[in-house]
Amino acid sequence: MNLKFANPVTKPSRITYDSLSALARQGLGKKRLSPAEAEEVRAAVERHQQRQIEPTRIVAKPGRFLRRLENILQSESGPIYRIIDRRYFVPCSRWIDEARLNLTVKIGHPSVRVEQHTVWHHRRPWKGTKLNITLSVPSNWRSSVLAAGLADAGGLLTLSAQQVAEDAWEASWLVQGRGYEFRVERGYIVRAADGTYAHGRSLKSARAIADGRTKMWGEKLRQAHARKRAEAQARLRELRDQLASMTRGQIVAAFGDTPISLRDSLRAGNCPDGTRSWINKWADGRTSGTIRDVLETGAPLDEYLMRALAVAIARQGASA
């Protein structure tokens, strides 16, 4: 209030018209306020009530945090610069310092703008290209793209991503054309079963690529396992033939300390009942030992025992 009090007053406990009008009468030394003074008291109460409805807020300078985020994203040590430098064709020269990539990152709708200039060595025998790339990415790029592991999905820089399924995202990414031409493409990214990523203009096409890659990966695994089985079987046949050409003493001298167990007999294709019957008859119930222990039982070197010995030797990688 702008009223000038002649008498001292105390601060009211509540800001109401009655309390402020009583304070004003006390300060002015009056029993009754004039209409103008009463109106000023009402205005003071209304201003107080308005401040309670709309509290004062401290507002930071607009754009301050966005500019800080842009500086972080466009840093040469940041993920965006490293991905472009590693995954895309950009200028690089040992002789011309200005022939390089200059990256600017803005916060906004995913887009790209490219400018290129010819630069010369200071002695002018060599020239190069100075490439200026300005990218726009959403403000949540680090949480929606980087944290999701999509920053360089499929070898392309992902500019934006919104998850639509457990293994799929609606996204946009950076594509390089001829030379230093760049463009933004939009569609879907799908994670295949082998951990790689497939891009497509539609979710159906991206998933078809991922499924085809999964089938191809599964076929390659089956082929690899088949090759390993064939190599293992060839090794076992070779060991079986080698053992068949050796005497009992030669086998003990070459492989006597090699461990052998019931599981080696089962892996060799011998039936469980026959294996346990052999153990009870010749090994007094022992299910593990060495090849020396097996041969010292005096058991005949038949086909079944030779197979078990070959598997034990192959498992240990032993050689004569």
Which residue from 275, 266, 271, 308 is spatially nearest to 291, judged by alpha carbons?
308
Specify whether 68 is located in the same domain as 208.
yes
- The answer on pLDDT for 306 being more than 70 is yes
Q: Give a yes or no: residue 162 inside a domain.
A: yes
Specify whether 198 is located in the same domain as 85.
yes
pLDDT of residue 204: 93
User: What average pLDDT score do residues 222-235 get?
Assistant: 84
Fill in the DSSP letter of residue 260: E
Query: Is there a contact between 276 and 266 (Cβ–Cβ < 8 Å)?
Result: no
Specify whether 261 is located in the same domain as 276.
yes
Specify whether 35 is located in the same domain as 8.
yes
Average pLDDT, the chain: 85
Q: Give a yes or no: residue 226 inside a domain.
A: no
Specify whether 47 is located in the same domain as 72.
no
The β-bridge partners of 98 are none
Compute and round to an integer the Cα radius of gyration of the chain.
42
pLDDT of residue 86: 92
Specify whether 79 is located in the same domain as 196.
yes
Q: Give a yes or no: residue 128 inside a domain.
A: yes
Specify whether 2 is located in the same domain as 85.
no
User: What average pLDDT score do residues 77-93 get?
Assistant: 91
Q: How far is CA 243 from CA 2, 273, 320, in A?
A: 115, 24, 10
Looking at the chain, the whole-number percentage of residues with pLDDT higher than 90 is 37
Specify whether 16 is located in the same domain as 83.
no
Specify whether 129 is located in the same domain as 207.
yes
Taking the C-alpha atoms of residue 6 and residue 24, their distance in angstroms, rounded to an integer, is 10
Parent domain of 34: 1-57
Residue 151 exposure: Cα atoms within 13 Å on the Cβ side: 17
Q: Give a yes or no: residue 146 inside a domain.
A: yes
pLDDT of residue 316: 83
Looking at 57, 73, 91, which one is the last position of a domain? 57
Total domains in the chain come to: 3
Q: Give a yes or no: residue 233 inside a domain.
A: no
- The answer on pLDDT for 62 being more than 80 is no
Sign, CA torsion 207/210/216/217: negative
- The answer on pLDDT for 9 being more than 70 is no
User: What average pLDDT score do residues 145-154 get?
Assistant: 94
Specify whether 92 is located in the same domain as 201.
yes
Instruction: Supply angle C-alpha 288, 290, 292, rounded to 5.
Output: 135
Specify whether 129 is located in the same domain as 180.
yes
pLDDT of residue 58: 41
Taking the C-alpha atoms of residue 207 and residue 281, their distance in angstroms, rounded to an integer, is 60
